[in-house]
Protein backbone atom coordinates (compact mmCIF):
# COMPACT_ATOMS: atom_id res chain seq x y z
CA UNK A 1 0.00 0.00 0.00
CA UNK A 2 2.80 2.40 0.97
CA UNK A 3 4.67 1.73 -2.28
CA UNK A 4 1.58 2.63 -4.30
CA UNK A 5 1.05 5.89 -2.43
CA UNK A 6 4.71 6.84 -2.76
CA UNK A 7 4.74 6.07 -6.49
CA UNK A 8 1.83 8.43 -7.07
CA UNK A 9 3.62 11.29 -5.33
CA UNK A 10 6.92 10.57 -6.97
CA UNK A 11 5.28 10.74 -10.41
CA UNK A 12 3.88 14.11 -9.37
CA UNK A 13 7.52 15.29 -9.11
CA UNK A 14 8.06 14.90 -5.37
CA UNK A 15 11.61 13.80 -4.57
CA UNK A 16 12.64 10.77 -2.57
CA UNK A 17 15.45 11.65 -0.17
CA UNK A 18 17.47 10.23 2.68
CA UNK A 19 18.32 12.65 5.48
CA UNK A 20 21.02 11.67 7.97
CA UNK A 21 24.04 13.37 9.45
CA UNK A 22 26.37 11.36 7.21
CA UNK A 23 24.54 11.32 3.85
CA UNK A 24 22.98 14.02 1.68
CA UNK A 25 21.88 14.10 -1.92
CA UNK A 26 20.74 16.95 -4.14
CA UNK A 27 17.29 16.46 -5.64
CA UNK A 28 15.04 18.42 -8.00
CA UNK A 29 12.79 20.92 -6.23
CA UNK A 30 9.36 19.28 -5.89
CA UNK A 31 6.00 20.95 -6.19
CA UNK A 32 4.34 21.98 -2.91
CA UNK A 33 1.37 19.67 -2.37
CA UNK A 34 -2.01 20.73 -1.06
CA UNK A 35 -3.12 18.98 2.15
CA UNK A 36 -6.22 17.63 0.39
CA UNK A 37 -3.93 15.55 -1.82
CA UNK A 38 -1.93 14.17 1.10
CA UNK A 39 -4.42 12.94 3.72
CA UNK A 40 -7.51 10.68 3.71
CA UNK A 41 -10.73 12.44 2.68
CA UNK A 42 -12.40 11.35 5.93
CA UNK A 43 -10.30 13.91 7.82
CA UNK A 44 -11.35 16.72 5.49
CA UNK A 45 -15.02 15.81 5.88
CA UNK A 46 -14.71 15.60 9.67
CA UNK A 47 -13.51 19.20 10.06
CA UNK A 48 -15.45 20.87 7.25
CA UNK A 49 -16.91 24.18 8.49
CA UNK A 50 -15.70 23.78 12.10
CA UNK A 51 -13.05 26.52 12.30
CA UNK A 52 -13.00 30.20 11.39
CA UNK A 53 -9.27 31.01 11.65
CA UNK A 54 -5.87 29.32 11.53
CA UNK A 55 -5.05 30.50 15.06
CA UNK A 56 -8.22 28.82 16.30
CA UNK A 57 -7.04 25.54 14.78
CA UNK A 58 -3.57 25.75 16.32
CA UNK A 59 -5.10 26.46 19.74
CA UNK A 60 -7.59 23.59 19.46
CA UNK A 61 -4.84 21.08 18.65
CA UNK A 62 -2.29 22.52 21.08
CA UNK A 63 0.09 22.75 18.15
CA UNK A 64 3.39 24.60 18.46
CA UNK A 65 3.87 26.98 15.56
CA UNK A 66 6.21 29.82 14.67
CA UNK A 67 6.77 32.09 11.67
CA UNK A 68 9.41 31.02 9.17
CA UNK A 69 12.77 32.75 9.45
CA UNK A 70 14.13 34.76 6.52
CA UNK A 71 16.61 31.95 5.81
CA UNK A 72 13.80 29.38 5.74
CA UNK A 73 11.75 31.58 3.43
CA UNK A 74 14.72 32.00 1.11
CA UNK A 75 15.19 28.23 0.97
CA UNK A 76 11.54 27.90 -0.04
CA UNK A 77 10.87 24.35 1.14
CA UNK A 78 7.19 23.79 2.00
CA UNK A 79 5.72 20.37 2.71
CA UNK A 80 2.05 21.40 2.64
CA UNK A 81 -0.07 24.26 1.33
CA UNK A 82 -3.39 24.64 3.13
CA UNK A 83 -5.91 27.17 1.91
CA UNK A 84 -8.48 27.11 4.74
CA UNK A 85 -8.60 26.51 8.51
CA UNK A 86 -10.58 23.32 7.85
CA UNK A 87 -7.76 21.91 5.71
CA UNK A 88 -5.24 22.80 8.41
CA UNK A 89 -7.35 21.02 11.04
CA UNK A 90 -7.56 17.91 8.87
CA UNK A 91 -3.81 17.95 8.31
CA UNK A 92 -2.94 18.34 12.01
CA UNK A 93 -5.41 15.63 13.01
CA UNK A 94 -3.94 13.19 10.51
CA UNK A 95 -0.36 13.92 11.59
CA UNK A 96 -1.23 13.42 15.27
CA UNK A 97 -2.95 10.11 14.54
CA UNK A 98 0.14 8.87 12.72
CA UNK A 99 2.31 9.86 15.67
CA UNK A 100 0.09 7.96 18.13
CA UNK A 101 0.15 4.87 15.93
CA UNK A 102 3.94 4.81 15.79
CA UNK A 103 4.34 5.36 19.55
CA UNK A 104 2.01 2.46 20.35
CA UNK A 105 4.08 -0.01 18.35
CA UNK A 106 6.82 -0.81 20.89
CA UNK A 107 8.39 -4.04 19.68
CA UNK A 108 11.06 -6.49 20.79
CA UNK A 109 13.57 -7.31 18.07
CA UNK A 110 15.23 -10.71 18.32
CA UNK A 111 18.44 -11.67 16.59
CA UNK A 112 17.33 -14.64 14.51
CA UNK A 113 16.58 -15.44 10.88
CA UNK A 114 13.31 -13.49 10.94
CA UNK A 115 14.88 -10.29 12.27
CA UNK A 116 15.38 -7.23 10.07
CA UNK A 117 19.17 -7.48 9.92
CA UNK A 118 20.98 -4.91 7.81
CA UNK A 119 24.41 -6.44 8.09
CA UNK A 120 26.27 -9.12 10.00
CA UNK A 121 29.98 -8.98 10.76
CA UNK A 122 32.23 -11.35 12.71
CA UNK A 123 35.57 -10.25 14.09
CA UNK A 124 38.15 -11.89 16.34
CA UNK A 125 37.92 -11.05 20.04
CA UNK A 126 40.67 -13.39 21.19
CA UNK A 127 41.97 -16.85 20.40
CA UNK A 128 38.93 -18.56 21.93
CA UNK A 129 35.95 -16.25 21.19
CA UNK A 130 34.40 -14.19 18.39
CA UNK A 131 32.22 -11.09 18.55
CA UNK A 132 29.23 -10.87 16.24
CA UNK A 133 27.94 -7.46 15.13
CA UNK A 134 24.40 -6.94 13.86
CA UNK A 135 22.37 -3.85 13.03
CA UNK A 136 18.57 -3.81 13.24
CA UNK A 137 16.01 -1.22 12.13
CA UNK A 138 12.52 -0.24 13.24
CA UNK A 139 10.14 2.62 12.40
CA UNK A 140 9.95 5.08 15.28
CA UNK A 141 7.61 7.52 13.48
CA UNK A 142 5.52 6.98 10.38
CA UNK A 143 3.50 9.40 8.27
CA UNK A 144 3.38 7.18 5.15
CA UNK A 145 4.98 9.79 2.89
CA UNK A 146 7.87 10.30 5.30
CA UNK A 147 9.03 8.32 8.28
CA UNK A 148 11.86 7.96 10.79
CA UNK A 149 13.80 4.76 11.33
CA UNK A 150 15.76 3.86 14.43
CA UNK A 151 18.86 1.72 14.02
CA UNK A 152 20.46 -0.26 16.85
CA UNK A 153 23.82 -1.99 16.44
CA UNK A 154 24.86 -4.63 18.94
CA UNK A 155 28.13 -6.50 19.47
CA UNK A 156 27.60 -9.80 21.30
CA UNK A 157 29.31 -13.08 22.11
CA UNK A 158 27.57 -15.74 19.97
CA UNK A 159 27.98 -18.64 22.42
CA UNK A 160 26.45 -16.82 25.42
CA UNK A 161 24.52 -14.02 23.74
CA UNK A 162 26.13 -11.50 26.09
CA UNK A 163 26.00 -8.01 24.60
CA UNK A 164 29.30 -6.15 24.80
CA UNK A 165 28.48 -2.91 22.95
CA UNK A 166 25.37 -1.02 21.84
CA UNK A 167 25.08 2.00 19.56
CA UNK A 168 21.99 3.69 18.09
CA UNK A 169 21.10 6.30 15.48
CA UNK A 170 18.05 7.47 13.53
CA UNK A 171 17.27 8.84 10.07
CA UNK A 172 14.44 10.70 8.32
CA UNK A 173 13.41 8.84 5.16
CA UNK A 174 10.90 9.10 2.33
CA UNK A 175 9.57 12.36 0.89
CA UNK A 176 11.50 14.58 3.29
CA UNK A 177 11.12 17.87 1.41
CA UNK A 178 9.88 20.51 3.87
CA UNK A 179 10.50 18.26 6.90
CA UNK A 180 13.46 18.25 9.30
CA UNK A 181 14.34 15.66 11.96
CA UNK A 182 16.21 16.97 15.01
CA UNK A 183 17.05 13.92 17.17
CA UNK A 184 18.31 13.86 20.72
CA UNK A 185 21.04 11.40 21.74
CA UNK A 186 19.39 7.94 22.04
CA UNK A 187 19.12 6.70 25.64
CA UNK A 188 20.40 3.12 26.02
CA UNK A 189 19.53 1.03 29.10
CA UNK A 190 20.84 -2.40 30.11
CA UNK A 191 17.90 -4.71 30.88
CA UNK A 192 20.04 -7.87 31.16
CA UNK A 193 23.20 -9.41 29.70
CA UNK A 194 21.30 -10.18 26.49
CA UNK A 195 18.75 -7.37 26.32
CA UNK A 196 18.94 -3.61 25.71
CA UNK A 197 16.32 -0.85 25.67
CA UNK A 198 16.82 2.19 23.44
CA UNK A 199 14.64 5.31 23.70
CA UNK A 200 14.59 7.56 20.64
CA UNK A 201 13.35 11.13 21.07
CA UNK A 202 13.43 14.28 18.99
CA UNK A 203 11.40 16.85 17.09
CA UNK A 204 10.10 16.78 13.52
CA UNK A 205 9.56 20.24 12.04
CA UNK A 206 7.30 20.74 9.04
CA UNK A 207 7.19 23.85 6.85
CA UNK A 208 3.70 24.76 5.66
CA UNK A 209 1.93 27.58 3.88
CA UNK A 210 -1.28 28.47 5.73
CA UNK A 211 -3.42 31.00 3.91
CA UNK A 212 -0.38 32.30 2.03
CA UNK A 213 1.85 32.64 5.12
CA UNK A 214 4.89 30.42 5.69
CA UNK A 215 4.93 28.79 9.11
CA UNK A 216 6.79 25.97 10.91
CA UNK A 217 4.99 23.38 13.04
CA UNK A 218 6.76 21.01 15.45
CA UNK A 219 5.93 17.42 16.43
CA UNK A 220 7.56 15.63 19.36
CA UNK A 221 8.63 12.04 18.69
CA UNK A 222 9.31 9.37 21.31
CA UNK A 223 9.73 5.64 20.71
CA UNK A 224 11.16 2.69 22.63
CA UNK A 225 13.00 -0.16 20.92
CA UNK A 226 14.05 -3.37 22.70
CA UNK A 227 16.76 -5.60 21.28
CA UNK A 228 17.65 -9.08 22.52
CA UNK A 229 20.40 -11.43 21.38
CA UNK A 230 19.97 -15.18 20.94
CA UNK A 231 22.85 -17.47 22.00
CA UNK A 232 24.00 -20.14 19.55
CA UNK A 233 23.98 -22.85 22.25
CA UNK A 234 21.35 -23.88 24.77
CA UNK A 235 21.86 -23.00 28.39
CA UNK A 236 20.50 -20.88 31.26
CA UNK A 237 19.90 -17.25 30.26
CA UNK A 238 19.28 -14.35 32.62
CA UNK A 239 16.35 -12.31 31.29
pLDDT tens-digit readout, 32-89 = 655 556 778 899 999 999 999 999 999 999 999 999 989 888 888 999 999 999 999 9
pTM exceeds 0.75: no
Beta pairing class for 117-124 and 107-110: unpaired
CB 197 within 8 A of CB 61: no
**Comparing 97 with 99, which gets the higher pLDDT?**
97
Name the band, by pLDDT with cuts 50, 70 and 90, for residue 96: confident
Domain assignment of residue 33, yes or no? yes
Domain assignment of residue 237, yes or no? no
What is the domain count for the chain?
Answer: 1
Residue 213's nearest CA partner among 65, 89, 93 is: 65
Domain assignment of residue 236, yes or no? no
Q: What does the H/E/C string look like for 157-189?
A: CCCCCCEEEEEEEEEEEECCCCEEEEECCCEEE
pLDDT of residue 14: 34
What average pLDDT does the segment 201-207 reach? 95
Domain assignment of residue 135, yes or no? yes
Domain assignment of residue 235, yes or no? no
Name the band, by pLDDT with cuts 50, 70 and 90, for residue 20: very low
* Backbone dihedral angles phi then psi of residue 64, each to the nearest 5 degrees: -70, 135
What average pLDDT does the segment 189-204 reach? 96
Domain assignment of residue 201, yes or no? yes
CB 207 within 8 A of CB 78: yes
Domain containing residue 146:
2-228
Domain assignment of residue 20, yes or no? yes
Domain assignment of residue 188, yes or no? yes
Amino acid sequence: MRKGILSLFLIASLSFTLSTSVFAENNPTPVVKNSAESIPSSYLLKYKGKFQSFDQVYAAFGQEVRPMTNAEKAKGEYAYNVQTPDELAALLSYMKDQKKLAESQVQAVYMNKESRSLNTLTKSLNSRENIKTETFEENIYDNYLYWIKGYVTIDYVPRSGKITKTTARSALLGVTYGHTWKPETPRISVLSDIKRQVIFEGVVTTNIVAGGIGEVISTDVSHTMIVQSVPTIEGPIKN
